[in-house]
Structures are given as structure tokens and as C-alpha cells.
Amino acid sequence: MAKAVRGGYDGRGVWMLDGPEAAAELVATGIELIVEERVPLRRELAALVARSPFGQVAAYPVVETVQRDGICVEVLAPAPGLSEALAIEAQQLAIDLANALGVVGLLAVELFETPTGIVVNELAMRPHNSGHWTIEGARTSQFEQHLRAVLDYPMGETSLTANAVVMANVLGGEPGGMSIDERLHHLFAADPGARVHLYGKQVRPGRKIGHVTVLGDDLTTVRARAVRAARWLQEGKE
């Protein structure tokens, strides 16, 4: 795996190299690169922790992040089928990293689950897309927790507010069709429980312009509702 040292995000600036010829073509472009081992991952996980200036920490439940074309499209909380032992290991790893790096505020640790365990993929020292589900899905949102940590206030409760929480990112679609206000009107009529957050960004195809969070008891049902809502806001159709 080759990655641009600067400027890469959401799958941009990342290349899967199948051999020396492909590597030579990429090197010839002059892009400054780092190269990492390609990992036989089963899925991607994320562990979110907060740390105060004096070392108090709080960890959220480990989530599964679903990627498509290098972009996170869904976050499932808690990560389905994750053993308690591996969840604790992921949380402890995130806490250890936060302490070792002296983080103040939020730290999102993106992980690969492999046949032999977990490995760190990426660190983000800030509120993160993998934690947006906490706005409605946790007792304390990542944004409130970040402020608590920076101000050295006691950490808030991190447990889930429902058995299953799913966040689906809303990506920019093709121009045209009904307005976003009309789409919201129809969505709220069809699924009053869906919670929508739009970021006010200029719409471009594939760009994250918002997210939808749905809570409930059954992961399959909750996930289907979240995905359907996000697709409707993107495309204006079921």
C-alpha cells in the first residue's frame, strides 16, 4: 500500500500496488510516498477515547466502520460480533496511545481486524467521523466529551442510548432533482426516528455532506433504515 505523505483523505492519495511495474509508475510521478504492508483485514474497527491534561481517560464502545471506495459509509455501534476480549484490547490500545502521545481531547484510533488480531491503521486527534453516532447514540457526545477533556472536567458517560446505533454518511450526489429540503420533508414523514445532520458543505459527488443516525433494538433493521435514509438524501429515491 502506497500513501501520499500529504493531502490524502477518503481514499484519495492511496494506491494498492500489485508489483514493481505499478510502483515504478507511481514513483515516477514525483509524489512523496510512504509504503505499508498490505494487511489481510477482516473488517475495520474504530476505538474512540478522550483524555484530559492530567490523564483521566474515557473510552467509547468499539465500532465497526464500513468503507466503500476508500470512504466511510457506515458506522455500526457496537461492532457486531466483536468478542469482549478483543473490544477491551482495542480500548486499552487506544488509551495507551493517548497516554503515550500526551493527547488532550479526543483520539480516534482506526483499526484493522486481522486473522491474528488488531493493528492500527490511522490516528485522528480530534472529534472524528467514526464518532458522529455519539450525538444521539451515546450518553455523552464526542463533542461534549472533547470539551470536557480540554477543560479538565470529569468525563461523561460513554454507554450507548440504545442496543444498536447505526450512522450512515450522506454523500453528495449528482446535481438536479428535488431540493434537500424536499428530501428531508419526505424522509421525516417516512421515518420520524431518523436523525439528520447536514454540514453546510458545497455538494460534490462522493463528498461527505452530512450523516444520518438511527437507533433501535435490532441491528439489521436499524442499519437498513439508516442506509435507506442516507441514500434517499443523496439520490432522492428509494
Q: What is the mean pLDDT of each successive set of 10 residues along the chain, which is 238 residues long? A: 84 85 89 90 97 96 94 96 97 98 97 96 94 98 98 97 98 85 95 96 90 98 98 85
Cell of 64: 465497526
Instruction: Answer yes or no: are the C-beta atoms of 24 and 30 closer than 8 Å.
Output: no
**180 and 197 in contact (C-beta within 8 Å)?**
no
> With the C-alpha atoms ordered 16, 81, 64, 197, is the resulting torsion angle positive or negative?
positive
Residue 83: predicted pLDDT: 96
Cα–Cα distances in angstroms (integers) from residue 66 to residues 22, 32, 71, 150, 168, in the given order: 27, 28, 8, 30, 9
For position 44, what pLDDT does the model report?
Answer: 97
Q: Which one-letter DSSP state was computed for residue 185? A: H
82: which 3 cell numbers?
466483536
Q: Which residues pair with 117 in a beta bridge?
A: 114
Contact 148, 156 (CB under 8 A): yes
Q: How far apart are CA 94 and CA 183, in angstroms?
A: 39
pLDDT of residue 196: 98
d(CA 140, CA 145): 6
Do 238 and 186 contact (CB within 8 A), yes or no?
no
Instruction: Say which residue the cell 480516534 belongs to.
Output: 108
- φ/ψ (deg, to 5) at 178: -70, 155
Distance between CA atoms of 136 and 204, rounded to whole angstroms?
A: 27
State CA 115 to chain mean position distance.
22
What was the pLDDT predicted at 78?
98
Residues facing 43 on adjacent strands: 113
- CA 149 vs. chain centroid, Å, equals 20
The pTM is what? Answer: 0.91
| Residue 12: predicted pLDDT | 78
CB contact at 8 A, 131 and 143: no
> What is the per-residue pLDDT for 173?
84
For the chain, the residue count is 238
